[in-house]
Amino acid sequence: MDMIDPFGRTVSYLRVSVTDRCDFRCTYCMAEDMTFLPKRDLLSLEELDRVCTVFVEKGVKKLRLTGGEPLVRKNVMHLVRQLSRHLKSGALEELTLTTNGSQLQRFAGELADAGVKRINVSLDTLDAEKFHAVTRWGNLDKVLQGIDAAQAAGLKIKINAVALKGFNDGEIPGMLRWAHARGMDLTLIETMPMGEIDEDRTDQYLPLSLLRADLEREFTLSDIPFRTGGPARYVDVKETGGRLGFITPMTHNFCESCNRVRLTCTGTLYMCLGQEDAADLRAPLRASEANDALSAAIDEAIGRKPKGHDFVIDRRTSRPAVSRHMSVTGG
């Protein structure tokens, strides 16, 4: 039984933030001094498994674990192994995750063993000093070793880079060549107005249409229909033989084909990354051993999935479009 929203879109993709915690403090994502959720508010690994399983029974085919940093959640591999039973049964087509790469050296083999085929690694610069500056706490070597370990384990990797004006815009051609030389796709993401951070986003915002025009002075880009189930639009890069994706929530809102909903680590379901519309799944989950109330709450939520988001970044609206941090909803 598929879940269909009010606009006729089939919801087949669930993104689950397993923790709001992270071992980095990226400047465009978090404040340095973040207050994290108390443990009792978080869904247990068993509860996360239960909710995901109900979604799979309701037609979700793709499940992505996010955070915060999903691999810092204690015993997260237990959850991955539990969820992998839906891959074995054929009910789930893909189980994947987005990570900052810091823990990959430790977990890459286990992820591959559990049936994870590909992962996204968030990486905004290949300059060690700039990397430390943007992540505040991160170590580039550790991430690069994690990428090595993941490739050695047979995982396909896509690199996600947030395009930040005056920070990494000049590095994109080099990152593109580096990623493609290693058989990895690269996706560029516009910065989004989510949560209070310590900087002015109007200074960081770089429309990808401008970045693409810059890249086209150096590379031959041709649009292709390739999709991975998310919002990225892809081009082939003739010179490298690789794929480059653009995620453009600001310059081109891609809501017409949105197939996604997002579950936070506290059991709140967001029907849109850029709206406050939400549903509490924790209460029905904890109210009963049976899943009827949970299933009904999911149906009610999908029945009011909004048409799209209203992100803007300009001098008049320097307030975030939504107050929660990206690390809460999980990207």
Extract the annotated binding site for S-adenosyl-L-methionine. 28, 68, 122, 192
Beta strands in the chain (DSSP E): 3-4, 10-11, 13-17, 62-66, 94-99, 118-122, 156-163, 185-190, 221-224, 233-237, 242-247, 260-263, 268-270, 278-280
Residues contributing to the annotated binding site for GTP: 15, 64, 98, 158, 260-262
Give the whole-angstrom CA distance, residue 300 versus residue 277: 12
Residues contributing to the annotated binding site for [4Fe-4S] cluster: 22, 26, 29, 255, 258, 272
On whether the CB atoms of residues 206 and 246 are closer than 8 A, the answer is: no
Burial class (CB in 10 A: 0-12, 13-18, 19+), 107: buried
What is the SS3 assignment for 203? helix
Residues contributing to the annotated binding site: 15, 22, 26, 28-29, 64, 68, 98, 122, 158, 192, 255, 258, 260-262, 272
On whether the CB atoms of residues 173 and 130 are closer than 8 A, the answer is: no
Beta bridge partners of 44: none
Annotate 153-170 with b (16+ C-beta within 10 A) or e (fewer).
bebebbbbbbbbeebbee
Burial class (CB in 10 A: 0-12, 13-18, 19+), 69: buried
Amino acid at 153: A
What is the SS3 assignment for 37? coil
Give the whole-angstrom CA distance, residue 195 versus residue 327: 9
